[in-house]
Amino acid sequence: MSTVLLLLGAGLARGAVFALFALALVLIWRATRIANFAQGAMSVAAAYLAYLVLVGTGSFALAIVTVLVVGAAIGFGMERGLMRFVPSRSPLNSIIVAIGAVMVLTGLLGILFGADYKPVSVPFSREPIMIGELAIVSPYTLFVFVVVAVVVAGIALLFTRTSLGLAMRASAFDDEVARLNGVRVSRMRTLGWMLSAAVGGLAVLLAVPTELGLSPHSGDLLFVNAFTVAIIGGLDSPVGAVIAGLLIGVLLTVVTTLWGATVGPIAILVLLVVVLLVRPQGIFSLRKARLA
Amino acid sequence: MTPIQRWGATAGILVLAIAATFVLDPYRNYLLAMTAAYVCATSGLSLLVGRTGQLSLGHAAFMAAGAYAFALTSNALAEADAPGPVHLLVPFLAAVVVASVVGLIVGVAGARLHGPYLAGLTLALVIALPAIASTFGGLFGGDAGLYVSVERRPDWLSTVIATEQWQAWVGLIVAAIVFGALAQLVRSPSAIRMQAVRDDESAARLSGIDPVRVRVGMFGISAAAAGLGGGVLAYVTQAVSPGAYSLTFSLFLLVAVVIGGVGTLAGAVWGAIVIVLVPEITTAITEALPLPAELSQRLDGNLAIVVFGVILVVVMLAAPQGIHGAVAALTGRLRRRRPRTAPPAPTT
Amino acid sequence: MTEPATGQAATATRTALSLEGVVAGYGHDPALHGVDLDLPEGSIVAVVGANGAGKSTLLRTISGLLPPSSGDIRLGGESLAGVPVEERIRRGIVHVPERRQVIAELTVEENLRLGALWRRDKAERASDIAEVYEFFPALAARRTKPGSTLSGGERQMLAIGRAYMAHPKVMLLDEPSLGLAPKVVADIMAMLAWLRTEYGLTILLVEQNVRTALSIADTGVVLNLGRVVATRPAAELEADEQLRHLYLGF
């Protein structure tokens, strides 16, 4: 029983991080119809700077603030400095340019920081809380849940209750009508990228303490996992991203506990293949598969 | 050109390349062999991306499939004491078959999808590769990989050419076969079908063309070509390991295709040359600079990645036709223009 | 058979919108070949003409989606040259485009809010929304439903309501009657006429359905192959059989 709870807790925590990262992907997709393949690298770059702040000041709170600010700045730079110049004729173009950005970021991180894993320590215990004989979740896991819940709720409120959120959604659904109604669509796009990069950076920062550490290639696996989550949830659906993230987090934790950590990527691959063959539009999306 | 002429042209280039191996030093011949291996992969990938719009971010995985098939077959044949030509040729056959099968599976999974969905799928594939090698460690040798017992240079040639030269010959011949076959493909009805599907899928379907078949077919072909490239790599390096077929390498292949000129075979050759030469140059630069050892180590490898990333972005934004496009533009300007017909009258 | 460019001499009222020698279009064969047009304040001007006459292009040029290659567009005397699309609503021009009027994924209320997003006066926004629901009770019944659940007529009402939320000086409507039943069209036209009379709204109405357009318009402008071939008071245009046969096909 205790093991099950622990697994569930760990799985959900991992899933919460996946959900956050997938949400970042969904945000950009909804705002710009671009699948941001640079999400992983951008987020890891922000996380590295947060790591420096953490090592320098010892404050995890400051690190969180850093990752959000730096992430937003990276998102701004990517959109204003690069992605808006990509000819939109073919959707492949933006993917390829994003890949170029990934290579530059990853290479630079490797040059600046080296390939070794930088461990990230957190001010919360990773030991599970005991209630009698039962080991439940660790304080760190609870912390992750809270943070993710706050961020997801914040984003949901932003989009459904505020004028800014309405402007962003309008820009995504019909940019011509949005412009005719005075919405500065290009600003909304930039904002979408900034938000997405900040959220992605936060996700990486939350994920890293439970792994070996931060490395330039951390973004690759994280992107694939988040991408799978976003696909399964339906690229258009933020709710789907969250639910799918939690489910896949639990699934992955079960699989790796049973068969070892190396099996993880295989499980993700199999899951992705199955979903793409059976229901490409994702489990929660009500639309037909976007032949993007 | 007729098919015979096309094969003739390919054979001619092959002869020239083989002649070149006599004047190159062993290391350059080794690089030539690597380039030949890459050409196999890039030519298939170039057509896949350029003609059918399918972005494969994990093409190294197909090379790996071919390389592992080659390795296992070659080792088995070595143990069974197979005769020379069999030991040399059958592993290549195994490489192309296995890679094709993997390619068809992935192609089918991704056939009805476009853009980011397919790209993401291929990404997941290449990232899962080291995990697959580790999980089935007994067969695949885990992270360390396998040593490959290859059929060496025939004894009667040992006095004439060095090992590296022989390796370059093997690579060049395989690359010529792949290149020649794909050159026929781009002039065949299949290429027209691909164009039709690219331009207007619904219209193509109405004409009786099955877009899924076209896309899956090209995927399988490009995977087969990459598999042969993997076989060459396994032959030349006499080893196969997951680390050699990483995501980074897959992205290098993509860079090669884009730099060279996506959709063209000549571009694939240009691109392969670039991705072999640039790391050589960056390594030379890194070693020449007076840097502390740690920084030097970090630069090595990563500098090439940064350079490729920059080149990829610049080419995509400024010169999407790549090297091939630039060359074509240049020779087009030099060539005398034939009189053009008048543009069609505008419709109201 | 062309008319002098500036038709009527309505010197008493001011000109809300004027076009002078506007050339615009795609490629080397522009859709508009030097259009001159004057919109007196508080009037309804109907632009009619056959398909391909350039009617939609005209509106897109005025709203800024398609910048003119030459000529001038003035709103209340001020030139709109160089003013980006997003800014024009702030100057008082609202364009209700053909067909794609309503954002299907947003609710009725959100669509209405969209029309007033750029406005600073939040308090007034709420009362304006209430006003729109008074004009169009059908919309009030569906305020939280997504735009995709609305019928064609309801969508057109929503589009007009959204345009009203911007408190425009000039409203551009592109074929509002397209695909709608006659009763619905009549209601919508009545609403437009009422807006003109009650609020002094200036309306430029592009229509394929000539009778409907001329029924509420003050002036009719006939566009043919990108040129203005006639500018007449609406009643006169409707009565001129020769002109109708020549350019309007009935």
As a whole number, the mean pLDDT across chain B is: 86
* Interface-testing mutation among C83, C86, C172, with chain A (most A C-beta atoms within 10 A): C86
Are residues C27 and C85 located together in one domain of the fold?
yes
- Which pLDDT belongs to residue C236? 85
Enumerate chain A positions whose Cβ falls within 8 A of a Cβ in C.
Answer: 163, 166-167, 169-170, 173-174, 176-185
Enumerate chain C positions whose Cβ falls within 8 A of a Cβ in B.
Answer: 27-29, 52, 225
Alpha carbon A125 to its chain centroid, in Å, reads 24
Q: In angstroms, rounded to a whole number, what is the distance separating the alpha carbons of residues C112 and C115?
A: 5
Q: What is the mean pLDDT of residues B156-184?
A: 88
Measured in angstroms, the CA of B345 and the nearest CA of chain C are apart by 11
- Of the pLDDT bands very low, low, confident and very high (cuts 50, 70, 90), residue A280 is low
Please report whether residue B35 resides in a domain: yes
**Are the C-beta atoms of residues A99 and B56 closer than 8 Å to each other?**
no
Q: What is the mean pLDDT of residues A18-43?
A: 84
Range B285-291, long-range pairs (CB < 8 A, 24+ positions): none
Degrees to nearest 5, angle at CA C152 with C151 and C156: 115
**Are the C-beta atoms of residues B248 and B309 closer than 8 Å to each other?**
no
Q: What is the mean pLDDT of residues B96-119?
A: 85
Please report whether residue B179 resides in a domain: yes
**Are the C-beta atoms of residues A199 and A18 closer than 8 Å to each other?**
no
Model confidence over B193-217: pLDDT tens digits? Answer: 888 888 888 888 888 888 888 889 9
Q: In angstroms, rounded to a whole number, what is the distance separating the alpha carbons of residues A45 and A71?
A: 8
Q: CA separation (Å) from B235 to B175, B189, B252, C165?
A: 13, 34, 21, 72
Model confidence over B21-58: pLDDT tens digits? Answer: 888 888 998 999 999 999 999 999 999 998 888 899 98
Q: Does residue B126 belong to the interface with chain A, where contact is any CB pair within 8 Å?
A: no
Please, which residues have CB within 8 angstroms of residue C118's CB and are 6 or more apart in sequence? A181, A182, A183, C89, C90, C166
Find residue C206's DSSP bridge partners.
C47, C174
Does the pLDDT of residue B311 top 90, yes or no? yes
Please report whether residue B68 resides in a domain: yes
Q: In angstroms, rounded to a whole number, what is the distance separating the alpha carbons of residues B232 and B239?
A: 11
- Which pLDDT belongs to residue C100? 60
Total domain count for chain C?
A: 2
Question: Domain of B71?
Answer: 3-245
User: In chain B, positions 233-252, which contact chain A (CB-CB < 8 Å)?
Assistant: 247-248, 251
- Which pLDDT belongs to residue C12? 55
Are residues C28 and B348, on separate chains, in Cβ contact within 8 Å?
no
Does the pLDDT of residue A292 top 50, yes or no? no
Residue C71 gets which letter from DSSP? E
Model confidence over A199-237: pLDDT tens digits? Answer: 999 999 988 887 778 888 888 888 888 888 888 887 777
**Are the C-beta atoms of residues B64 and B202 closer than 8 Å to each other?**
no
Higher-scoring residue by pLDDT: A41, C29: A41
- Which pLDDT belongs to residue C213? 87
Are residues C131 and C222 located together in one domain of the fold?
no
- Of the pLDDT bands very low, low, confident and very high (cuts 50, 70, 90), residue A289 is very low
**Are the C-beta atoms of residues B180 and B109 closer than 8 Å to each other?**
no
What is the value of pTM for the model shown? Answer: 0.82
Select from A90, A262, A276 the Cβ nearest to the Cβ of B117. A276
Model confidence over B228-279: pLDDT tens digits? Answer: 999 999 999 999 998 889 899 999 999 999 999 988 898 999 999 999 999 9
- Which pLDDT belongs to residue A288? 42
Q: CA separation (Å) from A45 to A72, B161, B282, C224?
A: 12, 50, 23, 59
C34 three-class SS: strand
Q: Where are the domains of chain A?
A: 2-278
Does the pLDDT of residue B341 top 60, yes or no? no
- Which pLDDT belongs to residue B348? 44
Are residues C72 and C176 located together in one domain of the fold?
yes
DSSP per-residue letters across B296-344: HHHHHHHHHHHHHHHHHHHHHHH-TTHHHHHHHHHHHHHSPPPPPPPPP
- Of the pLDDT bands very low, low, confident and very high (cuts 50, 70, 90), residue B333 is low
Select from A180, A183, A185 the Cβ nearest to the Cβ of C97. A180
Q: In angstroms, rounded to a whole number, what is the distance separating the alpha carbons of residues A228 and B112?
A: 17
Model confidence over A178-193: pLDDT tens digits? Answer: 999 999 998 998 998 8
- Which pLDDT belongs to residue B46? 94
- Which pLDDT belongs to residue B253? 95
In the sheet that holds C15-24, the strands lie side by side as C32-40, C15-24, C70-75, C78-79
In the sheet that holds C44-48, the strands lie side by side as C93-96, C170-174, C202-207, C44-48, C219-224, C227-233
Please report whether residue C79 resides in a domain: yes
Name all chains with 3 or more CB-CB pairs below 8 Å to chain A.
B, C
Please report whether residue B293 resides in a domain: no
Are residues B348 and C52, on separate chains, in Cβ contact within 8 Å?
yes
Domain covering A2-278 in this structure, CATH number: 1.10.3470
Q: Does residue B128 belong to the interface with chain A, where contact is any CB pair within 8 Å?
A: yes
Q: What is the mean pLDDT of residues B131-137?
A: 84
Q: Give chain C's residues under pLDDT 70.
A: 1-12, 27-28, 100, 250
Higher-scoring residue by pLDDT: A130, A113: A113
C206 three-class SS: strand
- Which pLDDT belongs to residue C3? 43
- Of the pLDDT bands very low, low, confident and very high (cuts 50, 70, 90), residue A87 is confident
Residues of B whose CB is below 8 A from C225: 348
- Which pLDDT belongs to residue C10? 46
Domain CATH for C20 = 3.40.50.300
Select from C29, C52, C225 the Cβ nearest to the Cβ of B346. C29
Q: What is the mean pLDDT of residues A22-42?
A: 83
Select from C63, C95, C100 the Cβ nearest to the Cβ of A174. C100
Are residues A263 and B131, on separate chains, in Cβ contact within 8 Å?
yes
Burial of A142 (0-12, 13-18, 19+ CB in 10 A): middle
Question: Domain of C118?
Answer: 101-167
The least confident of A132-146, B53-67, B173-187 is A132-146
A-B CB pairs within 8 A amount to: 164
Q: CA separation (Å) from A239 to A10, A171, A285, B105, B175?
A: 21, 20, 9, 31, 49
Cβ density class B175-187: b for 16+ within 10 Å, e for less: bbbbbbbbbebbe
Which is it for the CA torsion A154, A155, A158, A159, positive or negative? negative
Smallest CA–CA distance from A85 into chain B, residue: B317
- Which pLDDT belongs to residue B133? 86
Select from C65, C114, C166 the Cβ nearest to the Cβ of A176. C65
A-C CB pairs within 8 A amount to: 62
Residues of C whose CB is below 8 A from B346: 27-29
Total domain count for chain B?
A: 1
Are residues B131 and A262, on separate chains, in Cβ contact within 8 Å?
yes
Are residues A185 and C113, on separate chains, in Cβ contact within 8 Å?
no
Select from A173, A176, A182 the Cβ nearest to the Cβ of C106. A173
- Of the pLDDT bands very low, low, confident and very high (cuts 50, 70, 90), residue B312 is very high
Are residues C26 and C143 located together in one domain of the fold?
no
Please report whether residue C190 resides in a domain: no
- Which pLDDT belongs to residue C136? 87
Burial of A139 (0-12, 13-18, 19+ CB in 10 A): middle
Q: Does residue A73 belong to the interface with chain B, where contact is any CB pair within 8 Å?
A: no
